[in-house]
Amino acid sequence: MMTLFIIYIIVINLIGFLMMGIDKKRAIRGAFRISEASLFLTALLGGALGCTLGMNHFRHKTKHWYFKYGMPCIFLAQILLLVLLIRL
């Protein structure tokens, strides 16, 4: 069970990282974009670290305060939730 959880966390964070890169590339080309709601949903589903790393690596969405502070806050909330669940 723990192995599946770890695999899920790795995959969802990789997806979040890649989504930021893909959206940045689409923004440069003026192509159809990935919605902000999709980016935040990916973060809420466990991919906040990947989204945050992708945001900083690709320098994408860093001027939007709700991304700049929202993604790291979601990640911290996920860490706190994990710590609470482990302690139970």
Total domains in the chain come to 1
User: What is the full per-residue pLDDT of the chain (88 aa) written as tens digits?
Assistant: 889 999 999 999 999 999 999 999 999 999 999 999 999 999 999 999 999 999 999 999 999 999 999 999 999 999 999 999 999 8
Q: Rounded to 5 degrees, what are φ and ψ at 69? A: -105, -30
Domain that holds residue 74: 2-87
Q: What is the pTM of this model?
A: 0.92
- Give the rounded distance of the alpha carbon of 40 from its chain centre: 7
Sorted by sequence, the CB contacts under 8 Å of residue 48 that are 6+ apart come out as 13, 16, 71, 72, 74, 75, 78
